[in-house]
A and B are shown apart, each in its own frame.
Chain A
Amino acid sequence: MTINKIMLKMTEKITQKVSSNGRIVIPKDWRDKLAIDDKNLVEMELKDDKTILIKKKIHPLEIEDNLFEGVSPFSEEELDEAKKSLFPIED
């Protein structure tokens, strides 16, 4: 299967009438797939004056990619050393 075919398979399309004040409805199964509920925000992007892209707004702290992988949390000794590094004091 070529990449084009895979992309085509992942794209879903619907046609919808826009209300007089510009409202549209995100289909429920799409909202469910993206875990969008009534508390979430979405970002809208206008691309090349042609396409509107809607994305679920993600808080940067929601990204669970274990950024500090391979490093251990601070030990007491490390905290002391870090403090001394900021403001050296004699023991």
Chain B
Amino acid sequence: MTEIVVIDAQVLFYFHYDYQKVPSMLQELKKKVIDGKITVIIPIIAIAELFWKMRKVGKINVVKEALDRWEKSENVIIDDFNLEIIKLMLDNMESHELHDEIIAMTCKKHDTNIIYSTDKKFEDIFKLQLRSWK
């Protein structure tokens, strides 16, 4: 059965970084996506973060190329921030950092609790299963 996981902006970056320098957990993730054992959900705001970083260093063209590859990739889903996520946020009584909450609710939307990130808040606050490489 294919596992569904959500990834953050750091993982997106590592998908196209010098393979030898990529943490082994993320090398393994990439291999499983290619082999069809894992489907990754990319929240649109993770793409926005990466875009913000790459634009600062004048590398918009490579983001265009990366985006094109994600769109063409099997087992990769780019997920919009939409009304469904807002409705899931309505169940949260406490106030959270919006960025983290949207990513956490993206997990909920896709019925998974697995997030690849190094941010412990996903585990501590949103009770997700954090797959951290640090």
State how many residues of chain B have any CB contact under 8 Å with chain A.
Answer: 35
Contact surface of A with B, Cβ cutoff 8 Å: 39, 59-64, 66-71, 73-74, 78-79, 81-83, 85-87, 89
Q: Is the interface of A mostly helix, strand, loop or mixed?
A: loop
Which of A68, A69, A89 has the most C-beta atoms of chain B within 10 angstroms of its own C-beta?
Answer: A68
User: Of B62-70, B85-93, B123-131, which binds chain A?
Assistant: B62-70
Q: Is the CB of B49 within 8 A of A68?
A: no
Count: A-B pairs, CB below 8 Å: 78
Are the C-beta atoms of B14 and A85 separated by less than 8 Å? no
Q: Is the CB of A86 within 8 A of B99?
A: yes
Q: Does B108 contact A (CB under 8 A)?
A: no
Kindly provide the distance from the CB of B115 to the nearest chain A CB, expressed in whole angstroms: 14
Task: Tell me if B45 counts as interface (CB < 8 A to partner A).
Answer: yes
In the bound complex, what is the Cα–Cα distance between A64 and B34 (angstroms)?
A: 13
Is A73 within 8 A of B14, CB to CB? yes
